[in-house]
A = this chain, B = another copy of it.
Amino acid sequence: MTKKKSALNVMKGIDAPETVSKDAAKRFLAKRKKDLNVDETVKGILSGNISVLSLAITLIESNLPKHQVIAKNIIEKCLPYSGNSIRVGITGVPGVGKSTFIEALGIYLINKGHKLAVLAIDPSSEQSGGSILGDKTRMEQLSADKNAFIRPSPSSGSLGGVARKTRESIILCEAAGFDTIFIETVGVGQSETKVHSMVDFFLLLMLAGAGDELQGIKRGIMEMADTIIINKADGNNVHKAKLAQKEYENALHLFPPTQSGWTPDVLLTSAVNSTGIEDVWLNIKKYQKLTSKNGYWLQNRHRQAKFWMHETILESLKSNFYNDAVRKKQIKEFEKNVLEGKISPFEAAQELLDKYFKF
């Protein structure tokens, strides 16, 4: 039952022609219940079959141990065929025009012969109701294209879990022949750090006339951006956008230099009118050229791979400690005492750890 529920959940909003319907997903999982064939699935992925890819990601997202074992095997077999894409993180607060932007850039890329996968990380989607990428009416043109694969954020789980699943999905998408991967996130939480650690290039979408529109974006994100895009630079907004561009350029100039040797640019786009879109892509390619030459591109990928190994270890150690009903109660108690100044944070930690390791 859990399995079916999970399968249904992740199917939400992706029943575009090239993906599969809820019924197909149900039938697939029912059929595979007894005999899930790893090799067949891998073969399907490598041949670029989007239905198979989609269902394999469903397995990655499933929390059933049985599914996890199969997913693990699929990932390992796809691994040698992965890595050959440009991975781009795209963030910006709701209202900045992210989906229109992704649609415009996506169409541009597909017209140039690229294959594009769009994944999302938004651990808050369950609470907020409206998951990013979950709305079928968004990116209509892109989602109807056979060279595009759009996948909403896994609909539940901790940030660590969701991020890991997205990171694993990238491997399958690459094995399926997608040469460009977008990872979308909302710029309001902790997700950006995770996304930043799985992409080659990080785009931040902003609006002209900072002030109120920026309410909600998290501090620290600006300094992660490889390029800042001022979107909605159209109509009466053009002048304001140009001023903002100048301001951001000046601001970025004051930032410490990046490790990659790259100087972040500020670009103007109108996603609605599809203007400035090509410049964004040329900018990303310029970055790729520079960092491939100076070695940073590969260094960064290697650092990220190591990061994810240790990140996964950390997540497991944490969940082994924290996911325990008795301990949760103890932690609450200790937190209370810490806040009331009855015990130092260190002593509280020590006592909790003593109980953990003794057991």
Contacts and interface: CB of A to CB of B under 8 A. Distances in A.
Interface of A: 72, 75-76, 79-80, 82-83, 164, 167-168, 171, 210, 214-224, 247-248, 250-251, 253-258, 302, 305-314, 316-318, 320-321, 334-335, 338-339, 341-350, 352-353, 357
A301 to B, nearest CB: 9
A317 B327 CA distance: 15
Contacts of A334: 309
Contacts of A307: 345
A250 B253 contact: no
Contacts of A255: 219, 222
Contacts of A82: 341
B349 A312 contact: yes
A76 B347 contact: yes
A346 B219 contact: no
Given A217-B256, A223-B219, A251-B251, A306 B168 contact: no
Contact of A75 (B220, B223, B302, B347): B347
A341 B76 contact: no
A292 to B, nearest CB: 18
A349 B313 contact: yes
Contacts of A254: 210, 214, 222, 247-248, 251
B306 A338 contact: yes
Nearest to A304: B345
Nearest to A80: B341
Q: Is the interface of A mostly helix, strand, loop or mixed?
A: helix
A215 B348 CA distance: 40
A308 B167 CA distance: 29
- Max chain B C-beta neighbours (<10 A), residue from A219, A310, A344: A344
- Copies of this chain, whole number: 2
A296 to B, nearest CB: 14
A72 B217 CA distance: 40
A210 B252 CA distance: 11
A228 to B, nearest CB: 10
A255 B251 CA distance: 9
B217 A220 contact: no
B341 A214 contact: no
A317 B321 contact: yes
A346 B75 contact: yes
A284 B80 CA distance: 55
A348 B309 contact: yes
A171 B338 CA distance: 13
Contacts of A167: 345-346
B72 A347 contact: yes
A76 B343 contact: yes
B312 A350 contact: yes
Given A312-B349, A317-B317, A258 B306 contact: no
13 contacts: A72-B346, A75-B347, A79-B341, A79-B344, A219-B255, A219-B258, A220-B224, A223-B223, A308-B345, A309-B345, A312-B345, A312-B350, A317-B321
A317 B314 CA distance: 8
Given A168-B346, A251-B251, A305-B339, A352 B219 contact: no
B222 A313 contact: no
